[in-house]
Amino acid sequence: MPDRATFPLLAHRRAARGARGVGLAALAWLGAGLGTPAGAHVSEGAVALLLPTEYWIPAGAAAVAASALALALAPPAWARAASRALPLPLPEPRGGERILGLASALGFWALVLIGWFGPRDPLENLAALGLWCGLYLLLPAAMLVGGDLWAWLSPFRAASRGIRARLTGGRPPPLRLPARLGIWPAAASWLALMAFALVDPAPFDPARAATAMALWWLVHVGLSLLFGDAWLERGEGFGVFLSLFAALAPLRAEHGRLALRLPGGRLAEGGAGALAGAGGAGFALAALGAGIFDGLNETYLWLGWIGVNPLEFPGRSAVIAESLLGMAGSVALLTLACGACVAGGMALAGPPAPGDPAQPGPGRAFARLGLSLVPIVATYHVAHYIPVVLVQGQYLWAALGDPLGLGWALTGFASDQVTTSFFNHVDDVRPIWLAQAATIVAGHVVGVFVAHAAALDLFGSARRAARSQIPLAGFMVLATLLGLWLLAAPKGA
């Protein structure tokens, strides 16, 4: 969910009027040419102008470069050992998925009804907050820790199975989703969802958000009736997006038992579930490209490129075509850059020596090495929205206590108690920005590890693997610089 003025600034207009003086002073300072390029999110961006980001950003990129060098010099056995699982004497939890899934479907449609008939204020309507803050922001972060929670909470799977059983009496679905398509259908549906989030003039309007939720459910449950569970595994974009986060969880089920892994360990071995098939790397690139554009489209740089005065943003409806082209261009450029790095790495690796594996084909190399972008997608998503969650999470908690807008306050917290005072002072903004930066750097370090471990499998010898990683390691360092710059760039929309 983008944090343009349409939604989050409503929160700040209500609860952070005291931040205006700080923001105006900081903007004046920027205009005078005295400030460092910084800007983070919403109102805290003005205070972030006072932080030494011109030192912290290169330091983060240097940490990623150092990790790439350390892995290149380390014995190959270390990387292979780090990717292995530690089995636990605990069985995989089973049972209850159907009940939770049906309850989730009922809750999903309850949110749709609240969106249509509940409060019109997006900061008080549980549908808008539940979609953009609960599902889009908080659930992915929870899956980084708890693993594949979507398998239990999906509002699609149990409902589609129940409908299918009643309509067909348990017969197989009438159509088969071709295996060669992999998860490319999910990439297309995810980009459609991101187009709604980034381009639609009012995606945070409760009724509009509820209509989008209803259409998403009907379309994907309908397609699952035709293609079976395969569609929900390889065609429903939001579920596949969540699987990027689940793939990094340290605790996960493997072969019927729970196991512990270092983050990225499963990806280093070739991925898990749908990510291991065709299109896994492509989906990661689509998600990363859309996520980067989500940060870029608010910056003075982007607005200058499309000829918009950042201090007089005309509204989303005036830049629909530019936003669509920008998102598509971001995905395309990232895909070309990653593909060029993989091809360049294969050329640098040289021909296989006796005892090395056969030279991998470009498609196989791209599929394996492209999964190293999954940690970057996940951690950038989390880092990008930390400030938004700090505010909207409060509104979500208040709305959970008053879902119908009747003034109940069942959670003991009301929307008029929301505070954004932690954005008003440098000492409060500093740990927020550092937490964002540390999250992004950690994701790139894990990505470097995943790429190096995959290269050892693809190319065999440590020397060839290290040489093959030179272009991709440079890509990771530049991606770190870009991610940190996006956090600190002045925003004008």
Q: What is the pLDDT of residue 26?
A: 32
The percent of residues in the chain predicted with pLDDT above 90, rounded, is: 59
* pLDDT of 38 strictly over 60: no
* pLDDT of 45 strictly over 70: no
* pLDDT of 395 strictly over 70: yes
Kindly state whether residue 160 falls inside one of the protein's structural domains.
yes
* pLDDT of 56 strictly over 80: yes
122: helix, coil or strand?
Answer: coil
Band (34; pLDDT cuts 50, 70, 90): very low
The percent of residues in the chain predicted with pLDDT above 70, rounded, is: 89
Least trusted range by pLDDT, from 23-37, 197-211, 225-239, 347-361: 23-37
Chain segment 424-437, per-residue pLDDT in tens: 888 888 999 999 99
Average pLDDT over residues 283-295: 95
**Which residue has 């931040």 as its token pair?**
19
CA distance 489 to 90: 47
Radius of gyration of the chain from Cα atoms?
23
Q: What is the pLDDT of residue 262?
A: 87
Alpha-helical regions (H) of 353-406: 362-370, 374-384, 386-400
For 231-254, letters b (16+ CB in 10 Å) and e give bbbbbbbbbbbbbbbbbbbeebbe
CA distance 291 to 85: 30
Tokens of 110: 């309850």
**Which residue has 């969910």 as its token pair?**
1
Least trusted range by pLDDT, from 12-16, 330-334, 411-415, 442-446: 12-16
Q: What is the pLDDT of residue 324?
A: 96
Q: What is the pLDDT of residue 50?
A: 67
Mean pLDDT of the chain: 86
Contact, 112 vs 385, CB < 8 A?
no
Band (92; pLDDT cuts 50, 70, 90): confident
Residue 101's alpha-carbon distances to 229, 254, 403, in angstroms, are 14, 22, 21
Kindly state whether residue 376 falls inside one of the protein's structural domains.
yes
Kindly state whether residue 2 falls inside one of the protein's structural domains.
no
Bridge partners of 252, per DSSP, are 259
Kindly state whether residue 3 falls inside one of the protein's structural domains.
no
Q: What is the pLDDT of residue 6?
A: 44
Highest mean pLDDT range out of 133-142, 348-357, 364-373? 133-142
Q: What is the pLDDT of residue 104?
A: 95
Chain segment 216-252, per-residue pLDDT in tens: 999 999 999 999 999 999 999 999 999 999 999 988 8
Band (111; pLDDT cuts 50, 70, 90): very high
The count of domains in the chain is 1
Kindly state whether residue 158 falls inside one of the protein's structural domains.
yes
In the sheet where 251-254 sits, what is the strand order? 86-91, 257-260, 251-254
Contact, 275 vs 247, CB < 8 A?
yes
Chain segment 69-84, per-residue pLDDT in tens: 998 888 888 887 888 8
Q: What are phi and psi of 260, to 5 degrees?
A: -105, 135
Residue span of the structural domain in which 174 resides:
8-488
Element containing residue 238 per DSSP (H, E):
helix 237-246
Nearest Cα residue to 303 out of 110, 312, 34, 454: 312
Kindly state whether residue 1 falls inside one of the protein's structural domains.
no
Chain segment 201-220, per-residue pLDDT in tens: 999 999 999 999 999 999 99
Kindly state whether residue 188 falls inside one of the protein's structural domains.
yes
Average pLDDT over residues 361-381: 93
Contact, 370 vs 282, CB < 8 A?
yes
CA distance 66 to 58: 12
Q: What is the pLDDT of residue 183?
A: 92
Highest mean pLDDT range out of 95-99, 168-172, 403-407? 403-407
Band (160; pLDDT cuts 50, 70, 90): very high
Chain segment 440-480, per-residue pLDDT in tens: 999 999 999 999 999 998 998 888 999 999 999 999 999 99
Q: What is the pLDDT of residue 48?
A: 65
